[in-house]
């Protein structure tokens, strides 16, 4: 140090400081160094000390499944930090540690928070009425009847919903009321009037399963969630025949090219975002596609700023470039080989004459090659003239073999079932060399096709909004009277990729904006520069070519929550398949929207749906359920014709979208619970008394008209669902699309719904219209939760639940390949109980009350035609049969009718033991059989067996930990023996080598104790899923299909571009096509986007697109009310808007605004930011109006939640069932609760607010 420095006049003071502290001052006296500090700062050291750390995880709907350390001191949970205990990904990859996010890190706040529900609560009005009735009648069931059947008491407590007055009760009393309600409802209305709502089982499988097991044992209905959330990509069953199967996040690292398309990875996949940032260092190019400057945009090498909901146009243009350059011009061998073997491209389509041209028709199937059929078997164009006599010939689509002509390539749906298909259901193409394009044949003739388009300006009127027709040519081959072409040829036509000598309208070049599918065309729709669309498309393909398919699209809610998102997704998936990226590590689609993966699927399904005791379970499509329950159909009235193809052949004529739902349910395509206009127990009893088979009885009753489907008359009190129980979810604060209609019709309380009921001429044809809509349909809203939400505050009974740090459970996700445990850090405080304990308690009480009121009953279950079973053969050719002609045939033209005996006095016994069907009838998952005899025996030794009762001698599952052991022992992913057995079963069907996938894992058994002791454990590769983790490989979907020739679960056994069901064709969606967001202006009279005007009070208002993306400060509604998150956010409901839109209505940042449309009203504060595009606002979803939301000026009521501005809109093509991959399974297919097409008016409201 220089002396100059020490000459500071303040030096004596510094030295004084060093006298005070006997440390060592630096020579210039500016610093003081002390050694240690351990006594002086005992505070921090003491705070850091803790008594134990418990490793657990979070049961929140983010599919994160992160590993957390929970710190406990003096019996108090103090905080959590992420555990770093994940199994390694190997030397050359980033690890999974330390997965987590700020929301999860704030979880312990809830444990002792003032929003914690500590005791059971009951609505006071109900409680008083019940107590009085009970005192009078003595019997809980009679008391419940007295309360709900008396219109005065009933409407009194229903009207009081959501208006305070919840009072503390005891467990004994609250559960007695709930149990009595269940018993009464079963007895009076039937078990399918009970609905259980719990979501995303993967996030806490046993807590889900405890409740669903309870409901399935009763014969109640479990409601779906994946489709309801609009997270289910309907394109997945359509294209892959699979619910959703995607790569683990670690596989992003393997991609050479990554498009983040409508997926805001840093916000919605926070724990895994690092794989994306790190993959860039690996030389990966990252492209971001979003309307706003999203958090993900920061990482993108390029940002394609797209107009919301127009993504399909961009993808079509990219496809146009890829098909033009790589398929037609360069003929990239890798791509063409992939198309031939793994997609439906080479399959033959029959062309149908229309207006001096043709339209694409049905697949040519073996049944068509018959004398007098489409193709004469003797024709020289046919390789095997016995095709028509092969099994399931109507489900055996055909190709054109290069040498022999029309031929069966094997591996189609026809080979999937039945003894003849054994060893043939594979993608080996043994002996068949299909042509991809008919142009390869010498006899090819050019013909002109008519194809629909939907990108034109909308108009009022009757016809399809914005639709038109384009003319394109394809090469076709004439066989007899029939013209045939391939899917590939039609695909090229659809993408406007011309080839020499073909008639029709073709673009002059990429810059020709007049023809759909060119880069210039998309620019006008999307706002993305044509050159960028062209180049990114080309790069995506070039990278795939260079890397053998390692190009990936991470796609998210930004594109998946639209009405037409199945079509949007099909345009994306087309990119992945035309570049050979599916089934390749580092490639393919990566759909991350509400996707879940219960890795130990088989055992979990047995437990959760009580399949060990009763089959089939009642499982329902929530969008259909709530559409009917909330009476939203009375405000809808959309004629299908307004949405259908201009080339429609009429299968949907005259129907409203509501009609199509009823149609689908009556045909057994979609489930329908409550099913009939009478109790399913009563039907059983009637049949018994009439001495006829219950199935015949029901059919005859339907034929006579004495019995109807409940969906035909949702406002008939006989048809109401009566009990709705929700746990692990927040229906009314998070996912009730059309929330205001829930309040009015489901709950019977105040609502701010603005819509009018539809006039007579627009009402559904197939439904009964009652002049007065029902209000307060539900008798009991029962909710289990640990915190207060909109749902608890509307509930009749609220039971205090244990948090994730207070119970045992299982967790897995598709984001990582591990399964792990919840472990209790403390016992549930106050009077909280685990969900398992609560449902066990209810099971006990119901069993007791049933002794007097129910006993043993015969239940007729109406089950939909089921996916992954021979049911898929129900509707040959995807033709919608005329019921009047073919009659009611259960399992073919109507639901299957299955009779099961329910002993209601034995619900607890069954709840507590593993029933005989698991090992007796065996377990089926996705068509693969598992036989767990050894495992059942071992579980008995491990966990004990029951004595007496129906479960005598059976293994106990009377605790959450034992249930977890059941799940783990009975699943291939956690039990190597079963995985090996499953692959052996599957190999018999495919005839291909599969055993190596489970090799070395046969002896692996993951038990619950292992998970508690050792943290996350890698799962075993199992036929329950389509990918492979074998040898420490990152999981990627469909790897087994591509590498081991396992067919996809589709009609052709391949990935589908083409869907030939009548309804698909009539919707104009046989092929990927661009469908813009719904034109609500012309459909419902909403203000046109961008228009401005005056509110009734004279304030300026602007019409904007209303999007509800995922929030940075919450996981749906969870954590939104957490003080830490509210502090880091803005402390209440907000709507993000652009400066331009804010200026139009005089709004500044943080001003109070109101947003209104036909559905309801929202009050929020504006966040004005230039990262938002003009014409679009974001209300990050599920912000929960419980936190500081004032009263609305518009309605005078509490400002609404984000779903006050949305509603359910039914898309007919989602309702297709009974045909190949378009066949129902739970959460696999169904109408979606899409909500991204909405428009809202925004205005600045008075800045004086009242609460």
Partner 1 sequence: MKVMAQIAMVMNLDKCIGCHTCSVTCKQAWTNRTGAEYMWFNNVETRPGVGYPHTWEDQDTWHGGWARTKKGRLKPRSGGRLARLAKIFANPDLPELVDYYEPWSYEYDKLLSAPKDSAAFPVARPVSQITGKPMDKITWGPNWDDDLGGSTETMSQDPVLAQMNLDVRTEIEQTFMFYLPRICEHCLNPTCVAACPSGAMYKRAEDGIVLVDQDRCRGWRMCVSSCPYKKVYFNHTTGKAEKCTLCYPRLEAGQPTICSETCVGRLRYLGVLLYDADRVGEAAAVEDPQDLYPAQRSVLLDPYDPQVVAAARRDGVPESWIQAAQDSPIWALIDTYEVALPLHPEYRTLPMVWYIPPLSPVVDQVTASGNDGEDHKILLTALSTMRIPLEYLAGLFTAGDTRPVERSLRRLAAMRSYMRDVNLGGAGDEDIAGAVGMSGAQVEDMYRLLAIAKYDDRYVIPTTHPETPRGIAALGQDVSDLIGAGDGSPEACSVSTFHGQSTLRMTSRGRAAAAASAASQPSTPGRVNLLDWGGDEHASGLFPPAPSEGSDR
Give the whole-angstrom CA distance, residue 1130 versus residue 196: 34
With b for 16 or more beta-carbon neighbours within 10 A and e for fewer, the 185-217 pattern comes to bbbbbbbbbbbbbbbbbbbbbbbbbbbbbbbbb
Among 155-163, 804-812, 848-856, 900-908, the segment contacting partner 1 (CB under 8 A): 155-163
Phi and psi of 993, rounded to 5°? -80, 120
Give the residue with the Cβ less far from partner 1, 718 or 831. 831
* Nearest distance from C-beta of residue 39 to partner 1, angstroms: 5
- The 10 Å Cβ neighbour count of residue 1173 is 23
The answer to whether 99 contacts partner 1 (rule: CB under 8 A) is: yes
Residues 917-936 that bind partner 1 (CB under 8 A): none
Could you tell me how many residues of this chain bind partner 1 (CB under 8 A)? 181
Edge-first strand listing for the sheet containing 76-82: 52-57, 67-73, 76-82
* Nearest distance from C-beta of residue 488 to partner 1, angstroms: 26
Label residue 667 exposed, middle or buried (CB < 10 Å: 0-12, 13-18, 19+): buried
Task: Name the nearest CA neighbour of 1157 among 1227, 1091, 1113, 1059.
Answer: 1091
Which residues are 399's β-sheet partners? 347, 407
- The 10 Å Cβ neighbour count of residue 1001 is 21
Can you read off the two tokens belonging to residue 141? 């069931």
* Nearest distance from C-beta of residue 92 to partner 1, angstroms: 7
Phi and psi of 721, rounded to 5°? -65, 140
Give the whole-angstrom CA distance, residue 435 versus residue 449: 20
Task: Kindly tell me which residue out of 65, 67, 169, 1223 binds partner 1, with binding defined by CB under 8 A.
Answer: 169
Give the whole-angstrom CA distance, residue 538 versus residue 320: 10
Give the residue with the Cβ less far from partner 1, 295 or 368. 295
Site string for partner 1, 1186-1205 (x = CB under 8 A): xxxxxx-----xx-------
∠ CA 850-851-853, rounded to 5°? 55
* Nearest distance from C-beta of residue 1084 to partner 1, angstroms: 27
Contact 204, 728 (CB under 8 A): yes
Contact 977, 969 (CB under 8 A): no
Give the residue with the Cβ less far from partner 1, 640 or 1142. 1142
Residues 759-818 that bind partner 1 (CB under 8 A): 788, 790, 792-793
Give the whole-angstrom CA distance, residue 695 versus residue 565: 38
Give the residue with the Cβ less far from partner 1, 203 or 1172. 1172
* Nearest distance from C-beta of residue 71 to partner 1, angstroms: 8
Among 109-117, 185-193, 775-783, 998-1006, the segment contacting partner 1 (CB under 8 A): 109-117
Among 5-13, 186-194, 244-252, 366-374, the segment contacting partner 1 (CB under 8 A): 5-13
Residues 498-537 that bind partner 1 (CB under 8 A): 529, 531-532, 535-536
Task: Kindly tell me which residue out of 52, 329, 508, 1171 binds partner 1, with binding defined by CB under 8 A.
Answer: 1171
Pairing status of strand 618-620 against strand 221-223 = parallel
Alpha helix ranges (H) inside 854-959: 883-886, 907-912, 917-920, 933-943
Among 113-121, 613-621, 806-814, 1220-1228, the segment contacting partner 1 (CB under 8 A): 113-121
* Nearest distance from C-beta of residue 466 to partner 1, angstroms: 27
* Nearest distance from C-beta of residue 315 to partner 1, angstroms: 17
Give the residue with the Cβ less far from partner 1, 988 or 1171. 1171
Give the whole-angstrom CA distance, residue 1113 versus residue 1131: 10
The answer to whether 271 contacts partner 1 (rule: CB under 8 A) is: yes
Task: Name the nearest CA neighbour of 709 among 948, 478, 989, 897.
Answer: 897
Residues 290-329 that bind partner 1 (CB under 8 A): 292-293, 295, 297-305
Q: Please give, one letter per residue, the 3-state secondary structure of 1102-1121.
A: EEEEEECCCCCCCECCECCC
The answer to whether 1032 contacts partner 1 (rule: CB under 8 A) is: no
Which residues are 783's β-sheet partners? 726, 798
Residues 64-83 that bind partner 1 (CB under 8 A): 73-74, 76-82
Task: Kindly tell me which residue out of 471, 499, 538, 615 binds partner 1, with binding defined by CB under 8 A.
Answer: 538
Site string for partner 1, 1121-1150 (x = CB under 8 A): x-xx-xxxxxxx---x-xx--x-----xxx
Phi and psi of 800, rounded to 5°? -75, 125
Give the residue with the Cβ less far from partner 1, 106 or 1220. 106
Give the whole-angstrom CA distance, residue 1149 versus residue 1147: 7
* Nearest distance from C-beta of residue 914 to partner 1, angstroms: 33
The answer to whether 160 contacts partner 1 (rule: CB under 8 A) is: yes
Task: Kindly tell me which residue out of 52, 163, 354, 852 binds partner 1, with binding defined by CB under 8 A.
Answer: 163
∠ CA 629-1178-630, rounded to 5°? 5
Task: Kindly tell me which residue out of 53, 87, 97, 616 binds partner 1, with binding defined by CB under 8 A.
Answer: 97
Give the residue with the Cβ less far from partner 1, 47 or 354. 47
Pairing status of strand 121-123 against strand 166-168 = antiparallel
Residues 1103-1122 that bind partner 1 (CB under 8 A): 1112, 1121
Among 21-29, 502-510, 810-818, 1064-1072, the segment contacting partner 1 (CB under 8 A): 21-29
Cα of 300 vs its chain's centroid, Å: 27
Cα of 1045 vs its chain's centroid, Å: 28
Q: Provide the residue count of the chain.
A: 1251
Give the residue with the Cβ less far from partner 1, 166 or 1229. 166
Can you read off the two tokens belonging to residue 772? 């007065």
Bond before 98 cis per omega within 30 degrees: yes
Residues 114-143 that bind partner 1 (CB under 8 A): 114-115, 117-121, 124-125
Among 143-151, 234-242, 1068-1076, 1170-1178, the segment contacting partner 1 (CB under 8 A): 1170-1178
Site string for partner 1, 547-566 (x = CB under 8 A): x-------------------
* Nearest distance from C-beta of residue 653 to partner 1, angstroms: 44
Residues 22-51 that bind partner 1 (CB under 8 A): 22-24, 26-28, 30-49
* Nearest distance from C-beta of residue 732 to partner 1, angstroms: 10
Q: What residue has token string 């599919």?
A: 63
Task: Kindly tell me which residue out of 53, 113, 757, 938 binds partner 1, with binding defined by CB under 8 A.
Answer: 113
Residues 588-617 that bind partner 1 (CB under 8 A): none
The answer to whether 52 contacts partner 1 (rule: CB under 8 A) is: no
Site string for partner 1, 1212-1251 (x = CB under 8 A): -----------------------------------x-x-x
SS3 639: strand
Can you read off the two tokens belonging to residue 925? 């998952």
- How far is residue 999 from each of residues 90, 330, 995, 1019, 1028, measured CA to CA in Å? 20, 41, 6, 13, 12
- The 10 Å Cβ neighbour count of residue 655 is 21
Q: What residue has token string 């428009």?
A: 1239
Give the whole-angstrom CA distance, residue 683 versus residue 689: 10
Task: Kindly tell me which residue out of 52, 136, 155, 170 binds partner 1, with binding defined by CB under 8 A.
Answer: 170
The answer to whether 1169 contacts partner 1 (rule: CB under 8 A) is: yes
Residues 825-884 that bind partner 1 (CB under 8 A): 829-831
Residues 237-266 that bind partner 1 (CB under 8 A): 256, 265-266
* Nearest distance from C-beta of residue 889 to partner 1, angstroms: 49
Task: Kindly tell me which residue out of 1168, 1205, 1208, 1239 binds partner 1, with binding defined by CB under 8 A.
Answer: 1168
* Nearest distance from C-beta of residue 332 to partner 1, angstroms: 15
């Amino acid at each position: 140090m220089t002396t100059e420095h020490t000459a500071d006049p303040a030096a004596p003071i510094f030295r004084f400081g060093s006298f005070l502290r006997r440390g060592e001052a630096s020579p210039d006296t500016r610093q003081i160094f002390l050694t240690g500090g351990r006594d002086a700062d005992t505070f921090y050291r003491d705070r850091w000390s803790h008594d134990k750390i418990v490793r657990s995880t979070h049961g929140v709907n983010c599919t994160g499944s992160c590993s957390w350390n929970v710190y406990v001191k003096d019996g108090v949970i103090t905080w959590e930090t992420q555990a770093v205990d994940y199994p390694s990904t190997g030397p050359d990859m980033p690890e999974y540690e330390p997965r987590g996010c700020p929301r999860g890190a704030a979880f312990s706040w809830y444990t002792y928070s003032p929003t914690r529900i500590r005791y059971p609560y009951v609505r006071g009005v109900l409680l008083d009425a019940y107590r009085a009735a009970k005192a009078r009648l003595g019997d809980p069931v009679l008391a419940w009847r007295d309360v709900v059947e008396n219109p005065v008491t009933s409407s009194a407590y229903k009207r009081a919903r959501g208006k305070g007055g919840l009072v503390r009760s005891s467990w004994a009393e609250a559960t007695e009321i709930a149990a009595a309600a269940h018993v009464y409802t079963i007895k009076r209305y039937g078990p399918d009037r009970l609905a259980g709502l719990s979501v995303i089982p993967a996030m806490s499988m046993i807590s889900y399963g405890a409740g669903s097991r309870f409901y399935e044992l009763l014969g109640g209905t479990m409601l779906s969630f994946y489709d309801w959330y609009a997270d289910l990509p309907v394109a997945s069953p359509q294209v892959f025949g699979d619910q959703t199967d995607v790569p683990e996040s670690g596989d992003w690292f393997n991609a050479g090219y990554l498009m983040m398309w409508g997926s805001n990875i840093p916000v919605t996949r926070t724990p895994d975002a690092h794989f994306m940032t790190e993959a860039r260092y690996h030389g990966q190019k990252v492209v971001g596609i979003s309307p706003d400057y999203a958090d993900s945009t920061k990482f993108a090498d390029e940002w394609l700023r797209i107009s919301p909901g127009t993504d399909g146009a961009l993808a079509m243009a990219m496809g146009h470039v890829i098909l033009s350059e790589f398929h037609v011009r360069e003929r990239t061998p890798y791509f063409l080989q992939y198309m031939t073997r793994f997609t439906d491209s080479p399959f033959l389509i029959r062309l149908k004459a229309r207006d001096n041209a043709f339209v694409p028709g049905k697949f040519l199937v073996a049944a068509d090659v018959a004398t007098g059929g489409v193709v004469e078997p003797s024709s020289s164009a046919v390789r095997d003239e016995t095709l028509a006599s092969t099994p399931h010939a109507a489900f055996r689509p055909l190709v054109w073999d290069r040498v022999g002509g029309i031929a069966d390539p094997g591996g189609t749906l026809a080979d999937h079932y039945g003894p003849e298909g054994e060893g043939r259901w594979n993608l080996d193409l043994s002996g068949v060399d299909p042509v991809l394009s008919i142009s390869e044949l010498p006899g090819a003739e050019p013909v002109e096709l008519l194809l629909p388009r939907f990108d034109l300006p909308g108009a009022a009127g009757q016809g399809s909004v914005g639709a038109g027709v384009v003319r394109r040519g394809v090469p076709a081959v004439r066989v007899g009277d029939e013209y045939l072409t391939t899917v590939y040829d039609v695909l090229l036509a659809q993408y406007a990729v011309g080839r020499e000598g073909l008639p029709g309208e073709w673009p002059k070049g990429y810059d020709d904006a007049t023809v759909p599918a060119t880069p210039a065309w998309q620019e006008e729709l999307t706002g993305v520069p044509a050159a960028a669309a062209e180049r990114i498309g080309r790069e995506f393909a070039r990278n795939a070519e260079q890397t053998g398919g390692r190009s990936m699209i991470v796609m998210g809610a930004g594109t998946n929550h639209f009405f037409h998102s199945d079509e949007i997704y099909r345009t994306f998936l087309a990119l992945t398949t035309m570049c050979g990226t599916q089934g390749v590590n580092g490639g393919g689609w990566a759909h991350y929207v509400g996707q879940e993966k219960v890795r130990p699927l088989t055992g979990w399904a047995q437990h959760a749906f009580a399949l060990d005791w009763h089959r089939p379970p009642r499982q329902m499509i929530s969008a259909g359920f709530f559409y009917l329950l909330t009476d939203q159909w009375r405000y809808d009235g959309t004629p299908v014709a307004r949405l259908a193809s201009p080339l429609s052949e009429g299968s949907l004529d005259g129907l409203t979208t509501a009609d199509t739902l009823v149609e689908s349910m009556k045909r057994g395509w979609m489930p329908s619970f409550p099913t009939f206009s009478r109790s399913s127990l009563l039907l059983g009893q009637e049949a018994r008394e009439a001495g006829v088979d219950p199935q015949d009885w029901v059919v005859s009753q339907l034929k006579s008209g004495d019995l109807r489907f409940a969906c035909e008359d949702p406002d008939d009190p006989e048809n109401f669902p009566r009990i709705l129980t929700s746990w692990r979810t927040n229906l009314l604060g998070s996912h009730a699309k059309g929330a205001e209609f829930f309040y009015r019709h489901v709950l019977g309380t105040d609502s701010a719904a603005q819509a009018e009921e539809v006039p007579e001429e627009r009402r559904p044809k197939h439904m009964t219209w009652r002049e007065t809509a029902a209000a307060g349909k539900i008798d009991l809203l029962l909710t289990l939760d640990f915190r207060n939400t909109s749902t608890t505050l509307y509930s009749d009974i609220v039971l205090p639940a244990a948090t994730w740090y207070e119970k045992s459970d299982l967790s897995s996700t598709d984001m990582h390949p591990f399964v792990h445990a919840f472990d209790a850090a403390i016992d549930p405080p106050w009077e909280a109980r685990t969900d398992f304990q609560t449902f066990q308690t209810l099971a006990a009480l119901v069993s007791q009350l049933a002794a007097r009121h129910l006993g043993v009953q015969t239940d007729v279950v109406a089950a939909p035609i089921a996916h992954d079973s021979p049911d898929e053969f129900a509707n040959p050719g995807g033709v919608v049969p005329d019921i009047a002609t073919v009659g009611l045939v259960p399992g073919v033209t109507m639901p299957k009718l299955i009779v099961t005996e329910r002993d209601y006095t034995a619900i607890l016994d069954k709840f507590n033991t593993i029933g005989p069907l698991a090992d007796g009838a065996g377990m089926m998952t996705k068509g693969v059989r598992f036989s767990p005899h050894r495992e059942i025996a071992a579980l008995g030794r491990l966990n004990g067996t029951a004595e007496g009762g129906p479960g005598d001698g059976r293994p106990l599952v009377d605790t959450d930990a034992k249930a977890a052991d059941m799940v783990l022992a009975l699943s291939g992913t956690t039990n190597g023996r079963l995985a090996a057995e499953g692959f052996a079963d599957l190999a018999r069907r495919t005839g291909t080598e599969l055993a190596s996938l489970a090799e070395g894992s046969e002896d692996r058994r993951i038990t619950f104790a292992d998970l508690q002791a050792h943290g996350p454990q890698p799962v075993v590769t199992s036929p329950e899923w389509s990918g492979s983790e074998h040898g420490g490989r990152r999981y990627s979907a469909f790897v087994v299909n591509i590498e081991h020739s396992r067919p996809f679960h589709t009609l052709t056994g391949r990935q589908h571009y083409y869907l030939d069901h009548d309804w698909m064709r009539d919707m104009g969606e046989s092929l990927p096509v661009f469908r813009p967001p719904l034109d609500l202006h012309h459909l419902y009279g909403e203000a046109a986007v961008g228009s401005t005007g005056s509110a009734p009070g004279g304030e300026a208002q602007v019409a904007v697109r209303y999007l509800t993306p995922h929030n940075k400060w919450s996981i749906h509604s969870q954590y939104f009310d957490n003080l830490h998150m509210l502090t880091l956010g803005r402390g209440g409901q907000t709507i993000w808007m652009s400066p331009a839109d804010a200026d139009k209505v005089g709004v500044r940042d943080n001003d109070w605004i109101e947003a209104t449309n036909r559905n309801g009203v929202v009050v929020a504060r504006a966040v004005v930011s230039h990262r938002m595009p003009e014409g679009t606002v974001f209300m990050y979803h599920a912000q929960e109006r419980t936190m500081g939301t004032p009263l609305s000026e518009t309605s005078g009521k509490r400002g609404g939640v984000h779903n006050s501005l949305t509603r359910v809109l039914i898309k007919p093509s989602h309702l297709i069932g009974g045909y190949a991959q378009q066949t129902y399974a739970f959460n696999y297919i169904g109408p979606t609760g899409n909500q991204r097409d909405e428009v809202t008016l925004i205005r600045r409201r008075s800045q004086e607010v009242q609460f």
